[in-house]
Amino acid sequence: MPTLTIHLFGNLHVTRNDSEPVPLKPAARSMLAFLLLYQYQHPRTAGPRRDLLASQFWANHDERAARRCLSTTLWRLRRSLETGGLSGDDYIVTNNDEVAFNFSSDHWLDIAAFEQKVDQGMAGSVKNMTRRDAELLEEAQALYAGDLFEDCYDDWIFHHRERLHLKYLSCLGRLMHYYDIHGDFEKCLQYGRKILSLDPLREQVHRYMMRLYMRNGQQSLAVQQYHTCYNALKSELGIEPMAETQNLYRKITAGPALGSAARQKRPNQLHQALLQLQEAMQALSVAQKQVEEAREMVVYLTNEIESASL
């Protein structure tokens, strides 16, 4: 088990290898997230410069006060991360005037695990996906406990949050296609619903689900899905669904006419089935009578043989 486990999805929290949570002040939490994410955006640098950190977090302070706040926050962060015989300097390192999280330290980071699994699971085309690829994507989507650092509203977090959010939606979309190809419609629909719970304006997903419902003979659910799409677009954007979606809806709602014709045939089919049942019951009655006659004959002959022997 790693010495530190860091979760950035949902509410940021850090735990030690003894499962004890690491208490972090709000400024230290934001600083830790910033250092971790900065190196995703700038992988070739050691970390952000102190002046960047100071201006980023304490823009309303003069330079000297901002530097002092930065030093205090880094000191608190290092102290909080001390665990397992390691000091905070093993996690937060400085090089000249740069500050960085030490990615060589003994730690586990959820966003790193998430990205690795998604990248591996989506390395090939959906048609060539293996069961192991699907398992990796299942594991990845399970790590997504919520949007990145949900209770942070600083500008610097938004592009990181959006990038990982889109990657998560791509992961769900790939799983949806995979389970469709392999005939697991329930799981396919499950991931479609997950996508729409996060982004209800994805019209292509609504159409996908409408077609899935029709393939399963669930016309009413396909119609309901269209109305869900219609209401989402109308309320959020004030627009109606695309022509492609409306054409699909018209094809689906044309189904009842065909369904009525099919229902008209059912009485004849029922009549034929009743006739077949009646004939089978008559045949069974004849067979039962023959069995009874044969049984009586066996009893008669048995008695005759016994009488003759006497």
Indicate which CATH number applies to the domain containing 172: 1.25.40.10
Query: What local confidence, expressed as pLDDT, does residue 114 receive?
Result: 98
Query: What local confidence, expressed as pLDDT, does residue 264 receive?
Result: 43
CATH of the domain at 61: 1.10.10.10
Using alpha carbons only, give the angle 46, 47, 53 rounded to the nearest 5 degrees: 155
Q: Which residues contact 275 (CB under 8 A, 6 or more apart)?
A: none
Range of the domain at 72: 4-105
Q: Residues 140, 92: one domain?
A: no
Nearest Cα to Cα of residue 201 among 238, 146, 163: 238
Looking at the structure of the chain, the number of domains it has is 2
Position 87 in a domain: yes
Q: Residues 76, 114: one domain?
A: no
8 Å CB contact between 117 and 134: no
Q: Residues 81, 190: one domain?
A: no
DSSP 50-78: HHHHHHHH-TTS-HHHHHHHHHHHHHHHH
Q: Residues 245, 141: one domain?
A: yes
The tens-digit pLDDT sequence of the chain (310 residues) is 788 999 999 999 999 988 889 999 999 999 999 999 998 778 777 789 999 999 999 999 999 999 999 999 999 999 999 876 677 888 999 888 899 999 888 999 999 999 999 999 999 999 999 999 999 999 999 999 999 999 999 999 999 999 999 999 999 999 999 999 999 999 999 999 999 999 999 999 999 999 999 999 999 999 999 999 999 999 999 999 999 999 999 999 986 544 444 444 444 455 556 656 666 676 677 667 776 776 776 665 666 666 655 5
Position 52 in a domain: yes
Position 235 in a domain: yes
Q: Residues 163, 101: one domain?
A: no
Q: Which residues of 242-281 are buried (b: 16+ CB within 10 A; e: fewer)?
A: eeebeebbeebeebeeeeeeeeeeeeeeeeeeeeeeeeee
8 Å CB contact between 226 and 249: yes
8 Å CB contact between 33 and 8: yes
| CA 31 – CA 175 distance, rounded (Å) | 34
Query: What local confidence, expressed as pLDDT, does residue 309 receive?
Result: 55
| CA 113 – CA 81 distance, rounded (Å) | 21
- Positive or negative, the CA dihedral 284, 286, 290, 293 is positive
Query: What local confidence, expressed as pLDDT, does residue 42 receive?
Result: 80
Q: Residues 28, 134: one domain?
A: no
Last residue of a domain, one of 86, 105, 124: 105
